[in-house]
Chains A and B, each alone.
Chain A
Amino acid sequence: MKRPAFARGMWVVSGLLWLAAMGVGFALLTRHALTPGATQEAPPQWPQAAQPPRAEGRPTLVMLAHPRCPCTRASLGELAVVMEHARGRLDARVLFLRPEGTSGDWTQGPLWRAAAAIPGVRVLADEGGTQAHLFGAVTSGHSLLYDAEGRLRFSGGLTAARGHRGDNPGRDAVEALLREAGGSGGTSEHAVYGCALEEPPGVRATNTP
């Protein structure tokens, strides 16, 4: 039996609308994944007030992380790759945010344990986000590399999208700087993909989860 033309037309229109909806949906998803978090200017020299103090004579990498941000798992994975390639030449520490009014359990979750499992990485709690504020980090996964003289050489994220592991310019830049072994070039800056570490009105507007 011949299907009525009207019904066929409805199916064709529905199919086209469905395809358009799929296109829009995947575009939004991609845009979300590729939208970086907010960044602020990092101190060009190692802040004296930073705790613990940097290791003298060695480059130091600091990652400010949110203990519950799902995107940060990818950042920690990339940090593990960096540490493996650095072969002990890098002093790294991950400072997990511990907001006021939260318990130790809130901070010391799976991400804390994942970071602690990376050889050569010290894991510390950032009480009230003071260290993040000191380093100018407002997005989880923000990493800063200071050279042996305490000069800022890298500021940004180690992933190329939210929650996605894999080769990316940030990690390549850090590894290149480590291979440089004491060069005096400028600072490399990269986008950071992760959750917001704090909630200033300006940050909230752009750093949606």
Chain B
Amino acid sequence: MKLSEDVSGPTVALKERAVLLFREHLGAVRRRTDRLFAGLMLAQWAFGILVALFVAPYGWEGKDGAPHAHVYAALFLGAALTVFPIALARWRPGDAATRHGVALAQMLWSSLLIHLTGGRVETHFHVFVSLAFLALYRDPWVLLSATGATIADHIIRGFLWPESVYGVVDPEWWRFLEHAFWVGILDMVLLHAGRGMRREMREVAVRRAELELAREREEEKSAALDRALRELSGFQEHLIRVEKLAAVGQLAASVGHELRNPLAAVRNAHAYLSRRLSRDVIGAADDPRVPQFLGVMERELGACAKIISDLLDFARERPPALQPCPLRPLVDEAIGVVPPREGVRIINEVPESLPVPSLDKEQFRQVLVNLVQNAVEAMPTGRTGQVSVLAEGQDAGPWAIRVIDDGAGIPPDVLPKIFEPLFTTKTRGTGLGLAIVANMVQRHGGTISVRSEAGRGSEFHIHLPATAAAQAA
């Protein structure tokens, strides 16, 4: 039974919705047709008055003229014919009574216009045009009302004044049937057309209902998807928090580990100096190990300061303060900061004539220092080598800065991880240097990539977008 409920449930709902939509559409069409006929009634009234004024403006007695009876008929009888259906259309739009009232008034308008034009045959076509207009209601009963009114009019007038409707004085008794036959033929055509229109409206209603149902289903799916996304987003946030906590733990462990060795060296040096000074302050000045330990303390405290500085650089999210920054002097400055190493030559190959990009000078100097220092340290001990810094770019084009060394290269399994924070292959390193570099390049809207070959060296490639050059121009 569950299956049948699943199948029939939407089908029943679809049918009910389609019926409702069909009724709404039909009601809207009929209200619109009511308004159409309200306007048509006014137009016919104006037309009737014009016809009366044109055909029979005055009646005469000798040389005295007075408005013709047709003028009064067009004015007052026409007004009465017009006002009632308009009132129905205004206050009872869409009602069946309104449609039938309009149909009756419309057929009476045919009679009045035929009369005002002196019974002209041409005006009889108003009857057929009226029926065609009434077919817009898509209501067969309205056509029946109108046809009934026409037949009644023919019977009554055929009895009282046959010439006005048949054009002959003494027609056969069945003459009204002949007129009714032709009206009936038109009715059949209009009914057929009306049935077709209603069928199309039903089909449209079914399609709309199907569309609505499909949309509702899509909305339900979308809502479910939104819920899933929210849950996923919650899980992701939770995961990020967990990862952050893990990173903090890892960082704390790494920092603790990195700080422990220099601090242990400082503590040893401090312990020795304390003992020496407590024993003999004056003699300590001649002890050669005192300045040696003081040097150890200074060096190790410097290492601690470096670790803490790297951490701060990584943690800080300062947006770059862009300003025109010539690259060649910046590279010279960075090379000057990197401790020299025997056998390793650092060359600044940035052209003098290079346009000036907009960069955060402090951040980019840090980038260059880290890259050059890594390149120098990548050189195997006891081997000579070369580190080159190159740059190219144009005013309107993108920028490329490359740091190339011919050192040992980076092993393929290490390469994907080198920009991750806290990843290091050095015995003494925080693993933050390249992470800081990648972070700062990204803040400039650029990207950094690396290409390395074991034993032949590495090439770090910084790509900056065109906006940097454009802003500097």
Contact = CB atoms under 8 A, between A and B. Distances in A.
B60 A167 contact: no
Interface in B44-71: 55-66, 68-70
B65 A68 contact: yes
Contacts of B69: 29, 32, 208-209
Nearest to A167: B168
A164 B80 contact: no
Given A25-B77, A26-B77, A34-B161, A66 B169 contact: no
A99 B77 contact: no
Contacts of A14: 84, 87
B63 A99 contact: yes
Contacts of A29: 69, 73, 77, 112, 115
Given A15-B101, A163-B118, A165-B119, A30 B160 contact: yes
B361 interface: no
Contacts of A160: 163, 169
A167 B167 CA distance: 6
Given A209-B58, A209-B68, A167 B160 contact: no
A143 interface: no
B101 A197 contact: no
A197 B63 CA distance: 8
Interface in B340-380: none
A68 B112 CA distance: 23
Contacts of A73: 118
Interface string A170-209: 0010000000000000000000000111110001100111
A179 B115 CA distance: 33
A155 B128 CA distance: 40
A12 to B, nearest CB: 8
A106 B64 CA distance: 12
A69 interface: yes
Kindly name the residue among B55, B56, B62, B65 whose own CB sees the greatest number of chain A CB atoms within 10 A.
B62
B169 A167 contact: yes
Interface residues of B, number: 41
B164 A161 contact: yes
A39 interface: no
B108 interface: yes
Contact of B61 (A11, A15, A106, A196): A196
A69 B77 contact: no
B81 interface: yes
Contacts of A168: 163, 169
Contact of A196 (B60, B81, B84, B108): B60
Nearest to A101: B63
A25 B160 contact: no
Nearest to B97: A11
B59 A163 contact: no
A74 B118 contact: yes
Contacts of B115: 29, 33
B59 A164 contact: no
A13 interface: no
Interface of A: 11, 14-15, 18-19, 21-22, 25-26, 29-30, 32-34, 66, 68-71, 73-74, 97, 99, 101-102, 106, 129, 140, 160-161, 163-169, 172, 195-199, 203-204, 207-209
Interface of B: 55-66, 68-70, 73, 76-77, 80-81, 84, 87-88, 92, 97, 101, 104, 108, 111-112, 115, 118-119, 157, 160-161, 163-164, 167-169
17 contacts: A19-B104, A22-B108, A25-B73, A26-B111, A29-B73, A30-B160, A32-B69, A68-B65, A70-B70, A140-B60, A163-B118, A164-B119, A167-B167, A168-B169, A195-B60, A199-B61, A209-B58
